[in-house]
Chain A
Amino acid sequence: MGSAVSGSATGLQSSRERPVALLYGALAAGLIIVLLWSVASGRYQVPFGTVLSIILSHLVAVKTTWTTTEAVVVETVRLPRVLTAAIAGAGLSLCGAVLQAIFRNPLVGPQTIGASSGAALGGVTVIFLVGFGPLVQIGAFGGAALALVAVLALHRSDNLSPTLTLVLAGVVVSAFCSALVGLVTYLADPETTLQVIVFWLLGSFAPSTWLHCGLVAICTTVAAGVLIGMRWRVNVLSLGDDEARTLGVNPGRDRLILLAAACLAISSQVAVSGTIGWVGLIIPSLARMVVGADNRQLLPVSTFLGAIFLVAADTLARSLTPAEIPVGIITALIGTPIFALLLRRTTKSGAA
């Protein structure tokens, strides 16, 4: 019987690869369409074709058919902003997927685990002390790392209901960080740093320049290389520490590397655009419904979906009303009901 079944099993294997290739094709196409739509839309409408021509003109010779204003809008206003949003969304969603797997908890995300608010605190402190600049990234990274350490320390002291205590530890650390952010904001000079801090904290891609885009691109690419590169280790860690150890994997060291990479991506997103919640929490959960729990598929799919989602949310944020809505409000409006549904499903299935 062995050989007969073996034939059909390898058949299954190859038939499973075709839909996967199709899925990635669809995701890439979706991302490109959303990016172009986002660059084209806004108060100053640029036709879809013109956007395409302006971008292509950097790669191949294209006859100039657009006005200088259109070129400026596309190249220095919209493109850096849209790409920053895409990379930030990709990073948040990827980090969320990894965090959910290694903490074996679908309610975990960059925000619920305190990393985002830790990064905000670090960033605000740097702005308060030395003003806005590249140092904000370093402060945000340090803050995110400290917040994660605090959450893990709190979580370890209680293992009654690990799924919920981790989220509660995140809430506690977030609240503490928010209080400190409030304190720094209160102490800030209303003439100078206060405005910068408040504007930054609101969370927006509006001030994005190519510098922002470059910073988040470099940090997120490095982090994504580590996180997606370790996708199989993420699978092993998702079985729990004892299991990982019996399978010959050192869970402590691997988790440390993954968390450091996640902190890098999350903090770079916070540094360029302030705290943006919910993306890293709901997008991985939605992706899991599509491709299942295997992180070899889940991590890249989450990355794509996160980019698409945040670009779409940012586009809505700046085109729904004449005045721009902070993008964090859009993601929260979409994210909270989905989170409520996930919470219900999780507690119902007894995972909490």
Chain B
Amino acid sequence: MIRIENAGHSYGSQHWLFRELSVTLPSARIAAILGPNGCGKTTLLRAISRTLTLKEGIIDIDGHVGFVPQALTADQSYSAVDMVLMGRSRYLGRFSSPGRKDRERAYESLEEVDLLALAEQRYDRLSGGQRQLVLLARALASDCKVLVLDEPASALDMANQGVVLRLLLRLASSVGLTVLFTTHHPDHAIAVADTTLLMQRDGTHISGSTGEVLTESNLARMYGVPVRRVDVDADEETASAIVPLHGLRSKKAPDQPPAP
């Protein structure tokens, strides 16, 4: 469970990024955070993963957080399994190195994300999607109860987005992890999140069940772009997409170029 109460933060003397933010995310469920750039999503994640102290409010979590950063940079030439082993560090004394048990746990975590075959590969030679999975395995290897991911699917192609989202569903339902992730894709929240926290640029927020929060009107107000929700009923499953109406292919006659 993650309980956030009256959270607020600002950098320096700037205006409040967000304030009076209160939300409770139940255990073994998935929650998504959406919001425009600069609304404080990353700040909130950093506060939850204890790399930043908020100006106001309390964040209450049972157990430690397994944090999965964005796998954008890769200047690390460690092997994938060594990278995962880093997740065991909190259990190791200052003068000890990972032992057999830690290594077993690392291989187990790599197996959970289906990446065992690449265990000995160098991390910086993996693809973006594989790196994201290695970082996820690293969080799993730390035996966390709460998994927090910063835009886990945003840099991935469509197939890998599916891989990560399916994995999150499985970790919540069968492993019992509480999962929290930020995203710029409302579709991803609709697909897997039970709860959604919608942060707005004016520092206010809306939270609740994903269906209630991610309405066309809320999304349009948040991003400042009109949107339509499209529901797909395929043979085996249903899916939804949020389509923004940017006015790119207008049905109205195109503007005439001004006469010279």
Chain A residue numbers with a CB within 8 Å of B96 are 232
Find A6's partner among B95, B111, B138 (CB 8 Å cutoff). Answer: B111
- Residues on B with C-beta less than 8 A from A230 are 94-95
Are A247 and B95 in contact, CB atoms less than 8 angstroms apart? no
B51: Cβ under 8 A from any A Cβ? yes
B79, B90, B103: the one contacting A249 at CB < 8 Å is: B90
- Chain A residues with CB under 8 Å of B18's CB are none
How many contacting A-B pairs (Cβ < 8 A)?
Answer: 79
Residues of B within 8 Å of A9, CB to CB, are 81, 107, 116-117, 119-120
Q: Which of B64-72, B153-161, B251-259 contacts A (4 or more CB under 8 A)?
A: B64-72
Within 8 A of B (CB), among A137-165: none
B92: chain A residues at CB < 8 Å are 232
Interface status of A196 (Cβ within 8 A of chain B) = no
CB neighbours of A104 from chain B (8 A): 75
Task: Return the chain A residue nearest B95 by Cβ.
Answer: A229
Given the complex of chains A and B, what is the CA–CA distance between A13 and B81 in angstroms?
10
Q: How far is the CB of B125 from the nearest CB of chain A, in Å? A: 12
Is there contact, CB below 8 Å, between B89 and A242? no
Q: Closest residue of chain A to B115, judged by CB? A: A5
B76 contact set on A, CB distance < 8 A: 238-239, 293
Q: Which residue of B lies closest to A288 (CB)?
A: B77
CA of A182 to CA of B85, assembled, Å: 49
| CB nearest neighbor in A for B98 | A232
For the complex, is B86 an interface residue (Cβ under 8 Å from A)?
A: yes
The answer to whether B89 touches A296 (Cβ under 8 A) is no
B82: CB under 8 A from chain A? yes
Q: Is there an interface contact between B50 and A294, defined as CB atoms closer than 8 Å?
A: no
Chain A residues with Cβ below 8 Å from B103 are 13
A293 near B67 with CB under 8 A, answer: no
In the complex the two chains form, is B87's CB within 8 Å of A351's CB?
Answer: no
Q: Point out the residue from B51, B78, B107, B116 that lies within 8 Å of A246, measured CB to CB.
A: B51
Does B240 lie at the interface of the complex (its beta carbon under 8 Å from any beta carbon of A)? no
Q: Does A19 make an interface contact (CB < 8 A)?
A: no
Taking the nearest CB of chain A, how far is it from the CB of B48, in angstroms? Answer: 10
Contacting residues, chain B, for A10 (C-beta < 8 A): 107
- B97-A231 in contact (CB<8A): yes
What residues on A are CB-neighbors of B95 within 8 Å? Answer: 229-230
A interface residue numbers (CB < 8 A to B): 2, 5-6, 9-10, 12-13, 16, 104, 229-233, 235-236, 238-239, 242-243, 245-249, 254, 257, 292-294, 296, 351
CB-based closest 7 A-B pairs: A248-B90, A246-B67, A232-B97, A229-B95, A293-B77, A5-B116, A242-B51
B residues sitting closer than 8 Å to A (CB atoms) are 46, 49-51, 64-65, 67, 69, 75-79, 81-82, 86-87, 89-90, 92, 94-98, 103, 107, 111, 116-117, 119-120, 122, 138, 142
A-B contact pairs, 11 of them (CB 8 A): A5-B117, A6-B111, A12-B119, A230-B95, A232-B89, A232-B96, A233-B89, A235-B78, A235-B86, A245-B50, A293-B76
Given contacts A247-B86, A254-B94, 18 further A-B contacts (CB under 8 A): A2-B116, A6-B107, A9-B116, A104-B75, A230-B94, A232-B92, A232-B97, A236-B89, A245-B49, A245-B50, A246-B51, A246-B65, A246-B67, A247-B89, A247-B142, A249-B89, A292-B77, A293-B77
